[in-house]
Chains A and B, each alone.
Chain A
Amino acid sequence: MLKIYIGSRDESIYDPSTYFDNTFEKEWLFDEDVKRMIKDIDNSEVGDDGSIHCPIFGTIPPRDLSGGVKTLILLKFDKTEIFDISACGGNCASWIEELGNREDIEVDLGYLMPFKVKYPILLLNPDKIVKSYDDYLFEYIERDA
């Protein structure tokens, strides 16, 4: 389940992009989900050798991926930290929901990300499971006030 803390906690990684640049593992790029994330969000292709091809800049290093994609990759592969997903734009929301549906993922969130609430989400402060967008919106505003 996707578990969301509304706000920022000191112990969380508030800059996933920089964290990614310093913890990246090349094998991650061979994962099918990662290839689809990079195509979907960054409009770039991962080649069979793990190289990333961007239509504007040609072959780019992983550090040039968007902050959103870097955060999605960390959510999938790094279970040691809690990440602030505010680095992700609204176009990452469905991916985050999907990852949270597959396994427990806990994150911090600093803005009203447009989740469709396709699967139940646990808001953590205080605990409340939301099952619709209206619930999510109401509970988010309560916590953010």
Chain B
Amino acid sequence: MRGNQFLKIWNKMISFNIEIKNKLTIIVGDSAKGKTRLINMISTYLEYGKSSGIHVCASTDFEVWTNKDWRKGIRNDDIYNLKNTLIFIDANQKFVFSEEFASYVNSSTNYFILINRKPLKELSYSFKDIYTMDIIKGEHKLLPVYNNNEIFDFSISPIKSVITEDRKSEELNETSLFQDE
């Protein structure tokens, strides 16, 4: 799956409009911003469909995974047949820290939306993939936590080189910050 994806989900009281730009989307941020409620609403819709009173409009299929789903999916090989799907994962799902999950993400065509404040050291993602959630004009939306200018003031930095990621090659390169140095 390539390109931007979206999922809108709402009921009479609350509405989420989630835009997903990359394979990995990490949602962090303050408590009580609606992160877990989003996961619960999607789960409820997946279980009860229209009978839930929840409405959904999405660019592709979607799922919610828990530790149990992951274990079952690995055991049955189900997850390897899953393609082009938005997979939402709430916090405290330990499998997201595993090498096995990272390997699966790398080889998958699915997009993964993880609610997680802890470092995901096995996964390869950019600061641009980190979002917080807030209410904009009555809708819960994802907002980038960082932008290029806020990350670092290079002009006063003692750092002379950085490790960069080439998304296409998935290689890490050491790059000089300043051309003349």
- Residues of A near any B CB (own CB < 8 A): 8, 14-15, 17-18, 41-43, 56-57, 66-69, 86-92, 110-111, 144
Contacts and interface: CB of A to CB of B under 8 A. Distances in A.
B31 interface: yes
Contact of A69 (B13, B31, B91, B119): B31
> Main SS of the interface on chain B?
loop
Contacts of B36: 17, 66-67
Give chain A's interface secondary structure class: helix
B143 interface: no
Contacts of B32: 41-43, 66, 68-69, 89, 91
Contacts of A87: 31, 91-92
B148 to A, nearest CB: 20
Given A41-B31, A57-B13, A14 B92 contact: yes
Nearest to A85: B117
A54 to B, nearest CB: 9
A92 B28 CA distance: 14
Contact of A56 (B14, B92, B118): B14
Nearest to B97: A8
